[in-house]
């Protein structure tokens, strides 16, 4: 088994170093190879996703990814910006299924801006389609308008589109995930989020998800417009179990869901293709404002490594060991500044990583 290590920018290098430490402490047999990505790769290779990095990713069973981006690259032409690295990896590896769990740790229930009773026990899974929709739809670009409100004016446009097989495969992923969760005690519900009241693409989405749902009589299916879903997520988040939605709505709703739990610094994510090859990354970004200070929370990346062991490397026991260790350090009262509250012990990135290693037992 081979893991590609792509730390990237900002706090990416610091948090990935802690996850590597944890992986090494498990005493499993796999090889790891690092490569630059994002702004770091632009500096060293002139491109955010150099061929050598892409090749390494393709040749690996799993990719452990830190984060990319820094304000200083905002003025570069789009093709050279750090974000293109993650979009390129998704596209070239066909990583269409993005898992973004939002789990509220009981120890952190007071770190949320929502009332504890709303989020205590929260455990929802957002499944975001990741290689289609308006993110990748062609054509796109700038041109002179020939119609619309201002013919002759400069305009920009993107294309929202989904094919039937694209919707079918992500719907199957969602129903299967709901089944697995149901076996572990969840409700067994998929909520498909769309904008069928306005968009042709999402009426089609709703129709196809409904059709796929007929093969899963054991799983409840409901449909929700995206604006209502945004509201319900803060009003009664525990009504959700698995949420499945398109690329753009999923981008927005998964950030919202992550904040329900109090800290985006705690949440892992996985992006899988049909061969179970996966990219694993924290749900948060590169946080250039705190980079290099040793204060970033490494737990989301450490938990991403656990997801990697479970999904791509088929080592569920090792994954569970990491998850238990993370739970244990929280119970010990250790907190990085993002989740600190009076009465707990404030620690830095490295101390937190060390504590997890120690708690592995």
- Where along the sequence are the contacts to Mg ion (CB under 5 A)? 251
Q: Is 87 in the site for ligand IPM (CB under 6 A)?
A: yes
Catalytic annotation present for 21:
no
Please, which residue, 123 or 251, has the CB nearer to Mg ion?
Answer: 251
Whole-angstrom Cα distance, residue 30 to residue 1? 5
Please, which residue, 107 or 247, has the CB nearer to ligand IPM?
Answer: 247
CB 326 to ligand IPM: min, Å: 22
Catalytic annotation present for 61:
no
Among 3, 37, 40, 86, binds ligand IPM (CB under 6 A): 86
Whole-angstrom Cα distance, residue 360 to residue 302? 12
**Sole window of 27-35, 80-88, 108-116, 342-350 interacting with ligand IPM (rule: CB under 6 A):** 80-88
Binder of residue 187, out of ligand IPM, Mg ion, none (CB less than 5 to 8 A by kind): none
What is the residue-wise DSSP string for 95-107? --EEEEEEE--GG
CB 87 to ligand IPM: min, Å: 6
287: left (phi over 0), alpha (psi -120 to 50) or beta: left
Q: Quick one: which H or E segment has residue 272? A: strand 268-272
Please, which residue, 263 or 315, has the CB nearer to Mg ion?
Answer: 263
Please, which residue, 254 or 336, has the CB nearer to ligand IPM?
Answer: 254
Binder of residue 83, out of ligand IPM, Mg ion, none (CB less than 5 to 8 A by kind): ligand IPM
Token pair for 192: 């498909």
Output the 3-class SS for 273-331. Answer: CCCCCEEEEECCCCCHHHCCCCCCCCHHHHHHHHHHHHHCCCCHHHHHHHHHHHHHHHH
> Residue 75: how many CB atoms within 10 A of its CB?
7
CB 263 to Mg ion: min, Å: 16
Catalytic annotation present for 194:
no
Among 26, 32, 83, 337, binds ligand IPM (CB under 6 A): 83
Q: Is 251 in the site for ligand IPM (CB under 6 A)?
A: yes
Whole-angstrom Cα distance, residue 174 to residue 171? 5
Number of residues interacting with ligand IPM: please give it, by CB under 6 A. Answer: 4
User: 59, 227, 235, 314: which one is catalytic?
Assistant: 227
Whole-angstrom Cα distance, residue 126 to residue 100? 5
Please, which residue, 92 or 238, has the CB nearer to ligand IPM?
Answer: 92
Catalytic annotation present for 27:
no
User: 182, 255, 327, 346: which one is catalytic?
Assistant: 255
Closest CA to 89 of 283, 269, 280, 288: 280
Token pair for 285: 């970004």
Q: Which residues of 34-53 are buried (b: 16+ CB within 10 A; e: fewer)?
A: bbbbbbbbbeebebbbbeeb
Binder of residue 87, out of Mg ion, ligand IPM, none (CB less than 5 to 8 A by kind): ligand IPM
CB 183 to Mg ion: min, Å: 30
Whole-angstrom Cα distance, residue 79 to residue 87? 10
Q: Quick one: which H or E segment has residue 156? A: strand 154-157
Catalytic annotation present for 227:
yes
> Which positions touch ligand IPM (CB under 6 A)?
83, 86-87, 251
Residues with a known catalytic role: 135, 195, 227, 251, 255
């Amino acid at each position: 088994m081979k893991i590609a290590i792509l730390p990237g920018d900002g706090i990416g290098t610091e948090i990935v170093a802690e996850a590597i430490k944890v992986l090494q402490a498990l005493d499993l047999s796999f090889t790891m190879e690092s490569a630059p990505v994002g702004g770091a790769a632009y500096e060293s290779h002139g491109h955010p996703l150099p061929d050598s990095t892409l090749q390494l990713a393709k040749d690996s069973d799993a990719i452990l990814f830190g984060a990319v981006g820094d304000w200083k690259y905002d003025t570069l032409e789009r093709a050279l910006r750090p974000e293109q690295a993650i979009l390129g990896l998704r596209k070239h590896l066909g990583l269409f299924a993005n898992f973004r769990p939002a789990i509220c740790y009981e120890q952190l229930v007071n770190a949320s801006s929502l009332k504890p009773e709303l989020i205590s026990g929260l455990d929802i899974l957002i499944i975001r389609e990741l290689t289609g929709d308006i993110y990748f739809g062609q054509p796109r670009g700038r041109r002179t308008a020939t119609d619309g409100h201002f013919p002759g004016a400069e305009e920009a446009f993107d294309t929202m589109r989904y094919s039937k097989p694209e919707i079918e495969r992500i719907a199957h992923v969602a129903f299967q995930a709901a089944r697995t969760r149901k076996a572990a005690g969840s409700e067994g519900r998929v909520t498909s989020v769309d904008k069928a009241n306005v968009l042709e693409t999402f009426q089609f989405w709703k129709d196809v998800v409904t059709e796929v749902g007929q093969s899963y009589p054991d799983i409840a299916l409901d449909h929700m417009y995206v604006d209502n879903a945004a509201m319900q997520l803060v009003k009664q988040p525990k009504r959700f179990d698995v949420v499945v939605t398109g690329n753009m709505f999923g981008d927005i709703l998964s950030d919202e869901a992550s904040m329900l739990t109090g800290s985006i610094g705690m949440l892992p994510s996985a992006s899988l293709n049909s061969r179970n090859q996966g990219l694993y990354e924290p749900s948060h970004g590169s946080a250039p404002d705190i980079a290099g200070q040793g204060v970033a929370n490494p737990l989301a990346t450490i938990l991403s490594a656990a997801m990697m062991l479970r999904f791509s490397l088929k080592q569920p026991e090792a994954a569970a060991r990491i998850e238990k260790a993370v739970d244990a350090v929280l119970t010990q009262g250790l907190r990085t500044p993002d989740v600190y509250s009076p009465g707990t012990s404030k620690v830095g990135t490295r101390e937190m990583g060390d504590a997890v290693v120690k708690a592995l037992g």
